[in-house]
């Protein structure tokens, strides 16, 4: 039997994540409250979609020819993980602006073919967009500049 290892691995990952979230949602969140849609309906729907996506990838993997595995991009993997950690560590202490600038820049330079000019443009544009949407439009309670950077 020919199986595509990449698709099989991705499919199993999506299947496991989808089933875990389906089980957790089914167990802990009510699907209906007083005849109306409850807080568990949307997470259950999304987790079932993720589960179905995993099943679809597994079926696709069993029907396609195997591909060779490509080497892991350690630079990209390291910078993406570092980007998430920097955001988590910066957001409450330094504020949304420095957290987004640092994490977005790290993620933008993660691909091996990236250049710093494009990374800076993407970082500034995405940071401005996120601050506009999440802080001003949606009113999330995070400071743009955190307590460690305030000069007062």
Q: Where are the domains of the chain?
A: 5-61, 74-149
| Mean confidence (pLDDT) of the chain | 92
CA pair distance 9, 61, nearest whole angstrom: 9
Q: What is the dihedral of CA 38, 40, 41, 42, to 10 degrees?
A: 120
Residue 53 is predicted with a pLDDT of 97
Nearest-angstrom CA–CA distance, 20 and 110: 30
CB 112 within 8 A of CB 76: yes
Confidence bin at 4 (pLDDT 50/70/90): confident
pLDDT of 131 reads 96
Its sign, for the CA torsion 62, 68, 74, 79, is negative
Model confidence pTM above 0.75: no
């Amino acid at each position: 039997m020919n199986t595509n290892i990449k698709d099989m691995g991705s499919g199993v990952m999506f299947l496991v994540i989808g089933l875990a979230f389906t089980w957790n949602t089914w167990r802990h969140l009510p699907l209906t409250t007083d005849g109306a849609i409850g807080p568990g309906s949307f997470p259950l729907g999304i987790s079932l979609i993720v589960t179905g996506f995993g099943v679809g990838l597994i079926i696709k993997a069993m029907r396609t020819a195997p591909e060779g595995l490509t080497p892991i991009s350690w630079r990209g993997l390291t910078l993406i993980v570092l980007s998430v950690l920097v955001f988590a560590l910066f957001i409450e202490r330094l504020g949304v602006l420095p957290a987004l600038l640092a994490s977005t820049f790290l993620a933008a330079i993660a691909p091996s073919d990236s250049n710093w000019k494009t990374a800076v443009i993407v970082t500034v544009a995405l940071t401005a967009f996120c601050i506009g949407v999440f802080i001003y439009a949606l009113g999330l309670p995070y400071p743009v500049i955190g307590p460690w950077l305030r000069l007062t």
